[in-house]
């Protein structure tokens, strides 16, 4: 999903062996829709070529403090960017930053930056632990520079300790968090996603085929469109989208507890999880054995209906999903009414091309006032943006209507 569409990153690369990892960082940023411009120090060119970074970023690399054309790249490049990422950030460049030294194009950019700066330190563990480096990092933190890492572990110099640059994925997530935390927050949206798992015994569970993709796409879209997002997720194999707080749960009871706790403080609740309607009346303490039995009888007891409980809180806008294999609109209207929802998004899960486990979805949105909007087959990420936009419009309309005239 292009979470970072329209965002511009200035990536400063300094002279450390971890410079090779910034290739992957550029790929992640561009895949997320961000524009990337690279500025290198002369030392960085000892480790990686400008051609590599120009090819990956799709733009000429900035390297020359005194370009022949007289352009002032250090001013224009930071003025145009939304975030400056320093990866790797060597002890030397951090020291120059702390001391206000501007002796190459990148350190000039850092001194001229009025935008957020995210530094990913990378250096030998002894250099990292040196009191001078520690003091420089402390100073920079106090001045508002953001840091990610370093990690602890094996280092290229053969020693082990703190100083390894964070993985490109971790730097990407921090950068996305900084870029997406909205200045103007609409409020808090709680989203449930994925399946729940009800234990039968220590090794077996009752669950369903929900992949969590739709709920995770909604969480990403909500973060992009101005919400602080709390994502309560059953067990899935997905990474949470950037700038989203993940609350992992397993059973429906755990999801209920988390939903109740979070929704009391929230403005909107979106129930996208495929919650198990029933659970075994008890989970066996030990593994259930065959013991020559012809059949096994399970007694199931109902789980709480999470969204119906939350919709009882008058303070939240409640949005439900209806997964149906027949009579889509009829069953969805019934759920909208019985669960007291403001909006229900109904989708047909009998088709293999849309619904559970697939990349696409098609849906019918039904509002409390009877209005219906049909969403044709599209990628779940696109559908998520449409749904969150509709929720935003609905809330805007409601606040206009309740505003004093
Ligand atoms: N839901 C919930 N808690 C449950 C069951 C469902 O919060 N115990 C929510 C789902 O997250 C979804 C909506 O209720 O937003 C509808 O879920 P769905 O599985 O389609 O319907 P059910 O209420 O379970 O009814 P049925 O299984 O009979 O279709």
The string of pLDDT tens digits covering residues 4-56 is 888 999 999 999 999 999 999 999 999 989 999 999 999 999 999 999 999 99
pLDDT at residue 382, as a whole number: 87
Highest mean pLDDT among 159-168, 262-271, 322-331: 262-271
Nearest to 10 by CA among 28, 21, 26: 26
Q: Quick one: 146 and 229 in the same domain?
A: no
Q: Are strands 160-164 and 151-154 parallel, antiparallel or unpaired?
A: antiparallel
**Where residue 193 falls among pLDDT bands split at 50, 70, 90?**
very high
Asked if residue 2 is part of any domain, the answer here is no
Write the CATH number for 156: 3.40.50.1950
In this structure, the answer to whether residues 99 and 131 fall within a common structural domain is yes
Catalytic residue status for 157: yes
Query: Is 388:375 a contact under the CB 8 Å cutoff?
Result: no
- Structure token digits, residue 220: 């990403």
Q: Which residue has the higher pLDDT, 108 or 72?
A: 108
pLDDT mean across residues, the chain: 91
Whole-angstrom Cα distance, residue 233 to residue 250? 8
End-of-domain residue from the set 132, 159, 179 = 179
Q: What is the pTM of this model?
A: 0.76
Is the per-residue pLDDT at 115 higher than 90? Answer: yes
User: Torsions phi, psi of 47, nearest 5?
Assistant: -105, -30
Backbone angles phi, psi at 376, to 5 degrees: -65, 170
Instruction: For a ligand 1 pocket test, name from 310, 322, 345 the mutation site with the most ligand atoms within 8 angstroms of its C-beta.
Output: 322
Report how far residue 293's alpha carbon sits from residue 171's, in angstroms, rounded to the nearest whole number: 54
Distance CA 265, CA 259 (A): 10
Position 108 scores a pLDDT of 93
Residue 78: the pLDDT is: 84
Q: What does the pLDDT read at residue 343?
A: 97
Mutation choice for ligand 1 from 277, 278, 279, 356, CB with most ligand atoms inside 8 A: 277
> Could you tell me if 323 and 336 lie in one domain?
yes
Has residue 242 been placed in a domain?
yes
Claim to verify: residue 233 and residue 325 sit in the same structural domain:
yes
Q: Which of 135, 151, 179 is the last residue of a domain?
A: 179
Q: What is the pLDDT of residue 40?
A: 96
Tokens linked to 57: 């970023």
Of 156, 179, 202, the domain-final residue: 179
284-318 per-position pLDDT tens digit? 999 998 877 788 889 999 999 999 999 999 899 99
CA pair distance 75, 93, nearest whole angstrom = 18
Q: Which domain holds residue 374?
A: 183-402
Helix-, strand-, coil-residue percentages of the chain, each rounded to 5 = 35, 25, 40
User: Side-chain half-sphere of 345: how many Cα atoms within 13 Å?
Assistant: 25
Do residue 301 and residue 369 come from a single domain? yes
For the record, the structure tokens of 258 come out as 């988390």
Query: Cα–Cα distance between 83 and 145 in angstroms, integer?
Result: 11
156 and 194, same domain (yes or no): no
Are residues 204 and 172 part of one domain? no
Q: Are 74 and 112 in contact (CB under 8 A)?
A: yes
Structural domain count of the chain: 2
For the chain, percent of residues with pLDDT exceeding 90: 72
At 183, the pLDDT band (50, 70, 90 cuts) reads low
- Taking the CA atoms of the chain, what radius of gyration do you get in angstroms? 26
* CATH number of the domain that residue 205 is part of: 3.40.50.10300
Q: What percent of the chain has pLDDT over 70?
A: 96
Say which residue the tokens 């098609």 belong to. 362
Q: Is the CB of 311 under 6 A from ligand 1?
A: no
């Amino acid at each position: 999903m292009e979470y970072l569409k329209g965002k511009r990153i200035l990536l400063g690369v300094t002279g450390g062996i971890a410079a090779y990892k910034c290739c992957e960082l550029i790929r992640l940023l561009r895949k997320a829709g961000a524009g990337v411009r690279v500025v290198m120090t002369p030392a960085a060119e000892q480790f990686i070529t400008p051609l590599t970074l120009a090819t990956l970023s799709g733009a000429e690399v900035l390297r020359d403090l005194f370009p022949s054309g007289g352009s002032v790249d250090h001013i224009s490049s930071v003025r145009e960017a939304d975030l400056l990422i320093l990866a790797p950030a060597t002890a030397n460049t951090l020291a120059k930053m702390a001391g206000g030294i501007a002796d190459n194009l990148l350190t000039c950019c850092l001194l001229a930056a009025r935008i957020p700066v995210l530094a990913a330190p990378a250096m030998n563990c002894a250099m990292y632990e040196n009191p001078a480096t520690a003091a420089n990092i402390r100073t920079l933190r106090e001045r508002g520079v953001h840091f990610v890492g370093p990690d602890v572990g094996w280092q290229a110099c053969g020693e082990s300790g703190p100083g390894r640059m964070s993985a490109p994925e971790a730097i990407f997530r921090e950068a996305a968090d900084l870029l997406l935390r909205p200045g103007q927050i609409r409020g808090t949206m709680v989203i449930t996603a994925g399946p729940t798992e009800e234990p039968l015994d220590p090794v077996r569970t009752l669950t369903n085929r929900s992949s969590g993709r739709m709920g995770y796409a909604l969480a990403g879209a909500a973060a992009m469109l101005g919400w602080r997002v709390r994502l309560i997720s059953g067990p899935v194999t997905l990474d949470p989208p950037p700038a989203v707080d993940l609350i992992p749960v397993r059973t429906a009871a755990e999801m209920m507890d988390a939903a109740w706790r979070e929704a009391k403080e929230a403005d909107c609740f979106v129930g996208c999880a495929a919650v198990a309607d029933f659970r075994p009346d008890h989970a066996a303490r030990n593994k259930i054995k065959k013991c020559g039995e012809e059949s096994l009888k399970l007694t199931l007891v109902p789980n709480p209906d999470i969204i119906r409980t939350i919709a009882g809180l008058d303070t939240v806008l409640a949005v439900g999903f209806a997964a149906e294999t027949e009579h889509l609109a009829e069953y969805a209207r019934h759920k909208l009414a019985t669960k007291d929802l403001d909006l229900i998004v109904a989708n047909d899960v009998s088709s293999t091309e849309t619904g559970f486990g697939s990349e696409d979805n098609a849906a019918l949105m039904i509002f409390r006032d009877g209005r219906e909007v049909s969403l044709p087959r599209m990628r779940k990420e696109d559908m998520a943006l449409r749904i969150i936009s509709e929720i935003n419009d609905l809330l805007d309309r409601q606040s206009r209507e309740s505003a004093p005239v």
